Amino acid sequence: MKDKGEAFLGDAAQISCMFTSDDGIGSSGAIIIEWFYVESSGYSQKIYHLESLHHTVEKNTPYTDRLTVNNTGTPGEVVLTIRDVQLSDEVEFICHVKSLTDGTGEGRTQLRVFKTPEFPTIEGVKKGISVSDPPSKIGTCEVKNGYPKPSITWYRDNMPLRNIPDVVDIVHSVTTESSGLFSVNSVLTMKVKKEDKNAAFYCEAKYLVPGTAKMTETEHINITVYYPPTAVHMSVDSPKGKIREGDTVELHCSCDGNGPSQEFTIKKDSQKLGETTAVLEKVTRLNSGVYECNVMDLDTFEDLSTNITVFVNYLDEAVIEPKGTALVDHKKEFTASCNALSSLHTDTTWLKNGKEVSKGHHLSLKDVTYDHAGMYICVVTVPEIPGMQTNGSLQVNVQGPPEIIEKDFNEKETAEKDVELSCHVRGYPSPKITWTTSDGKVIGSASQTKTEVGAKSVVKVKVTSDMTVFCNSSNDFGTDSVTYNIKATISECLDHACCPPTAFTCV
């Protein structure tokens, strides 16, 4: 017989008994086979008897209803089968053979019973552990309902842990459940180090199954480790680039330590602005300076600090010389300047009517004409900070005699009763415009408006016949005029009633 047999809990166990004898098994044979099991007291209890094909299963034993003995067909071999194996079946079974010619022999097999445990579990501590604390509980592992007893091994980053006095302490406890199965609980206690902040802890449960050993790992856990700082860091989190007036600046203070006992302070000129974060809204150049970050560990009373220099860039309003309005003599030269005080290099561009007319701080106009009159915009920008700019404006008036620059026509034919005429004159001071007819009469219904470069007048005249109208302009420096020749045309009508009463003749 084999020294041992193996079976899972609830399965069937088969135990072979092999022997050699000249006597056979059967009605004519002289072989007697008996099966026994050994009780905890050491007493061998018979459970089966076979003689001359007559077999008897002993009554009132744990195996009365669960055993079968079969002849395998191989001479000298019988098999005992135990159904629905229980933990109590982990005993020694004895096969006893008697032969009239060969005497008596027996063999023994120890039956081993197995039950795969449940998946192991791990639970880490929720609170943080300080490196200054004595050895502290890291976590608990448990594997339940296995047979035979499972074992637990703790790992830190794939390295098995062993008991080390005052450093690592692993305590296992075994519970025998009412079912007879074993549950194992293991508690890991350690003296933590700073390096343990990123360590992965887990457990490995080992257990036996028929023919081999197996293992299962728990999930990995991390612990929170508190440790004092050795360095402190300060940064400007926003904005990422250069700071300008009007920005919101966010300062951040951090350290390489960890723990609730670390107290942060951000300050400037002894004024506390925040703890780990300070927000400065709509900063000005007055916010420039040195900001300090201080961290104190209340466990060790160690105090560390660092600082950072914040500079707020600025761009003042554009200043133009001359201010407001410049009066320039016709055909003369003119120079203006534009600048803005800034902490950074600036570029200056002059615009007129939305178009660039000059670059640089100075605007220089030579041989000034009326075309140079108008509004000039000076734009000062900071190339290093997109969007940082300021504007100023200068109205340039060119002083000189009037010059008519726009009229509707020189000569026009019309069949209308009323004709609207316009006359646009440039010059400074703004010219006065009058309208007269060829006989010297002043047309008093004209309107006049001031323009950027002079004045504009509109008049409506009644046409009764061919006529000449003059637009006359004048200021302190001279005069200018233009002539409008209007020719009245004759309209042909079939019906005399459709003709104008005096201006035209019907034919």
The answer to whether position 501 is within a domain reads no
373 shares a domain with 327 = yes
Domain boundary among 63, 95, 114: 114
As given in the structure block, the two tokens for residue 291 are: 């900001």
Token look-up 């209890």 returns 45
Residue 178's domain is classified under what CATH number?
A: 2.60.40.10
Average pLDDT for consecutive 10-residue bins of the chain (507 residues)?
96 94 62 94 95 89 95 84 97 94 91 98 95 95 98 97 97 97 98 95 98 96 94 94 96 92 93 96 97 92 94 97 94 96 97 96 95 95 95 95 77 74 92 93 91 90 90 95 87 47 34
495 occurs within a structural domain: no
How far apart are the C-alpha atoms of 125 and 226, rounded to whole Å? Answer: 13
Asked whether residue 507 is assigned to any structural domain, the reply reads: no
What pLDDT, on a 0 to 100 scale, did the predictor assign at position 31? 87
In a domain, 98, yes or no: yes
Reading the block at residue 26, the tokens are 């059967």
DSSP of 196-250: GGG--EEEEEEEEETTEEEEEE---B---EEB--S-EEEEEEESSS-EETT--EE
Q: Report the phi/psi class of residue 144: left, alpha or beta, with left for phi > 0 and alpha for psi in -120 to 50.
A: beta
C-alpha of 433 from chain center: 70
Q: Which two tokens stand for residue 213?
A: 């050993």
pLDDT of amino acid 464 = 84
Q: Would you say residue 496 lies in a domain? A: no
Model confidence pLDDT, tens digit, residues 65-76? 999 999 876 788
Structural domain including 463 reads 408-488
Which of 399, 426, 459 is the last residue in one of the domains?
Answer: 399
